Amino acid sequence: MTSSFQGYSVTVDGGLVHLRLDGNEANALGAARYEGITRVASEATEEQVLLLTAAGDSFSAGQNLREYVAAQVQGELTELLTVGTDAVLALLECRATVVAAVQGPAVGGGALLAGAADLVLLSPHARLRLPELELGMPLGASVLERLVGSAAARRMALTGAWVEAREVACLGGARLVAADTLEHEARDLCAQLLAADGRVRAIARRLFSGDERARAAALYRAEVAATIELLG
């Protein structure tokens, strides 16, 4: 069953929950998409697998700049930031196993959505960038570290540098697959996950590295608090 919303669609097929950004506006992340991700991730169960994909050439261009400027003018940046960070936290704390298939550029919040996933597949056209410091936000390195490691996350956070898919794959954070088979490979991976006992899979996720997802979420909350303080 597929349900369509502003900026994304959700398909539920057995234990697979597939959230697909619709490709409009380079999949920039505004309130509608953020709230959809939060809702779907929060409602998913431990027996399910949540697959996050995107149509078009970009996985996500990051924050919708029109909404950002409007929030800045109206003095509502904190509210906008909260909506976005809630989506990232919902993925980090999702009871379902989260898979992300990234076919193109993933910037800012888009890179963090990938970083919040448990398993990531990248096409050769994918690349990541975290330009949050340019917006005055010391935000995101704790989540991105899960995908690229601490050294690369530090470089990306402090310089806004791009990291190409091949480098991410070499760092061990994702698997590189051909662009034309990306979604097929992602679905196969989801099927493999669903073949296992969901309760056992959920326990494994909690036990892995002393529940590294919980640690990343705690660090991300600290980054959010520091950012809100800076924004006044």
57-85 confidence digits (pLDDT tens) = 999 999 998 998 898 888 888 888 899 99
Under DSSP, is residue 21 helix (H, G, I), strand (E, B) or coil?
A: strand
Q: Is 132 among the catalytic positions? A: yes
- For 10-40, the pLDDT digits (tens) are 999 999 999 999 999 999 999 999 999 999 9
- Distance CA(89)–CA(127), nearest Å, equals 22
Give me the pLDDT at residue 38, please: 98
> What mean pLDDT is predicted for residues 130-139?
89
Least confident of 38-52, 184-198, 200-214: 200-214
pLDDT band per the 50, 70, 90 thresholds, residue 230: confident
- Proportion of the chain above pLDDT 90, given as a percent: 84
Domains of the chain, by residue range, sit at 2-231
Give me the pLDDT at residue 126, please: 98
- Is residue 104's pLDDT more than 80? yes
- Distance CA(227)–CA(224), nearest Å, equals 5
- Is residue 232's pLDDT more than 90? no
The answer as to CATH 3.90.226.10 being correct for domain 2-231 is yes
- Proportion of the chain above pLDDT 70, given as a percent: 100
E strand residue ranges, 92-133: 97-102, 105-107, 119-122, 127-129
Please identify which of the residues 25, 35, 132, 183 carries the catalytic annotation: 132
Angle CA(100)–CA(106)–CA(109) in degrees, nearest 5? 90
Angle CA(62)–CA(156)–CA(98) in degrees, nearest 5? 55
Give me the pLDDT at residue 135, please: 82
Question: Any idea which residue has 């509210």 for tokens?
Answer: 79
Q: What is the mean pLDDT of the chain?
A: 94
- For 151-166, the pLDDT digits (tens) are 999 999 999 999 999 9
- Distance CA(40)–CA(17), nearest Å, equals 8
